[in-house]
């Protein structure tokens, strides 16, 4: 009998060892996505469950209860700088992330300071940093596996999208990029050679133009750049800044200078690549002036 128990024990140990050595694909594989918007790196780590012909919303994932926004361990979201999500400021760092599905067109996004949650049962509401109402849409196309996507709409804003089954949840965000960019331009000008400064000023002006912020500073930089060097690139940026200020007559004159200097320089690849767009934009400004738009 003693020998029997010894054999049985050894058999169980052997079976346990085999079980530990068995590696099968996870039902909800680990996934991650990261993206840099402006100067802010956003990263998301999650597990990706599949629908597998199950009824998800209101059944597998109940309404009005905190959900791990994935599977297995808690989903985490990290930001390398402070960030504004739907009007709420979150400091830079890493958070565990949850969703509270609700019937209707809004869910609740939850950012929690405890990052080592092994199970939703370990969630502690007292450690919530923010609870934010976010929009949700339901579409006809089913997303089999849960996925996250980070989309930039311009250098200072975008959205995080969670898609699973027919639900699409959006977390719209904004980052502070303009002040940092202006400091970067000033620092670059301080250390640049004189023959490099026109390009730094032009690129800085173009960046501000694209964000739609600090247009007065963009105008100053565009003027300084065109004083330093006569080139299609900086004169065209100057024209676009003037148009942004609704000074269309001046924009047309600056655009003519851009075309003139582009033609004068055979090696000007910027002019060659952008000539059709430049002429098309110029025509639209002329039409505005002729119709009394200035």
209 and 247 fall within a common domain: yes
213 and 277 fall within a common domain: yes
168 and 85 fall within a common domain: yes
145 and 236 fall within a common domain: no
97 and 210 fall within a common domain: no
Residue 137 forms part of a structural domain = yes
Residue 18 forms part of a structural domain = no
69 and 158 fall within a common domain: yes
Q: Report in angstroms the alpha-carbon separations of 8 from 1, 4, 14, 18.
A: 11, 6, 10, 15
How many structural domains comprise the chain? 2
Among 147, 174, 201, the domain boundary falls at 174
226 and 280 fall within a common domain: yes
pLDDT tens per residue, the chain (294 residues)? 566 556 455 555 556 555 566 667 778 899 999 999 999 999 999 999 999 999 999 999 999 999 999 997 889 999 999 999 999 999 999 999 999 999 999 999 999 999 877 667 789 999 999 999 999 999 999 999 999 999 999 888 999 999 999 999 999 999 988 888 999 999 999 999 999 999 999 999 999 998 888 999 999 999 999 999 999 999 999 999 999 999 999 999 999 999 999 999 888 899 999 999 999 999 999 999 998 754
What does pTM read for this prediction?
0.74
169 and 184 fall within a common domain: no
Domain containing 188 equals: 178-290
Among 151, 174, 197, the domain boundary falls at 174
75 and 109 fall within a common domain: yes
Residue 248 forms part of a structural domain = yes
Among 174, 201, 235, the domain boundary falls at 174
What does the pLDDT read at residue 18?
52
165 and 202 fall within a common domain: no
Residue 239 forms part of a structural domain = yes
109 and 142 fall within a common domain: yes
74 and 190 fall within a common domain: no
What does the pLDDT read at residue 109?
98
Residue 11 forms part of a structural domain = no
Give the CATH number of the domain where residue 252 resides: 1.25.40.10
Residue 14 forms part of a structural domain = no
Residue 62 forms part of a structural domain = yes
Residue 105 forms part of a structural domain = yes
């Amino acid at each position: 009998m003693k020998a029997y128990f010894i054999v049985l024990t050894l058999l169980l140990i052997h079976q346990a060892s085999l079980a530990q050595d068995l590696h099968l694909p996870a039902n909800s594989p680990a996934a991650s996505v990261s993206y840099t918007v402006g100067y802010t790196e956003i990263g998301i780590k999650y597990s990706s469950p599949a629908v597998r012909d199950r009824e998800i919303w209101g059944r597998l994932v109940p309404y009005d209860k905190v959900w791990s926004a994935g599977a297995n361990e808690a989903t985490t979201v990290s930001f390398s700088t402070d960030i504004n999500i739907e009007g709420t400021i979150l400091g830079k760092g890493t958070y565990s992330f949850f969703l509270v599905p609700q019937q209707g067109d809004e869910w609740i996004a939850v950012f929690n300071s405890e990052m080592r949650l092994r199970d939703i049962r370990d969630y502690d509401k007292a450690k919530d940093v923010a609870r934010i109402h976010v929009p949700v849409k339901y579409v006809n196309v089913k997303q089999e596996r849960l996925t996250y996507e980070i989309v930039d709409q311009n250098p200072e804003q975008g959205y995080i999208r969670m898609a699973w089954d027919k639900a699409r949840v959006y977390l719209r965000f904004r980052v502070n990029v303009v002040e940092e960019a202006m400091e970067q331009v000033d620092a670059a000008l301080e250390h640049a050679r004189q023959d490099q400064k026109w390009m730094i000023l032009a690129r800085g002006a173009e960046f501000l133009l694209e964000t739609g912020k600090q247009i007065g500073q963009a105008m100053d930089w565009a003027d300084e750049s065109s004083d330093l060097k006569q080139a299609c690139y900086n004169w065209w940026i100057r024209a676009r800044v003037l148009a942004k200020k609704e000074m269309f007559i001046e924009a047309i004159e600056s655009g003519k200078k851009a075309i003139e200097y582009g033609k004068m320089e055979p090696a000007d690849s910027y002019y060659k690549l952008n000539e059709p767009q430049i002429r098309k934009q110029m025509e639209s400004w002329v039409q505005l002036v002729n119709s009394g738009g200035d």
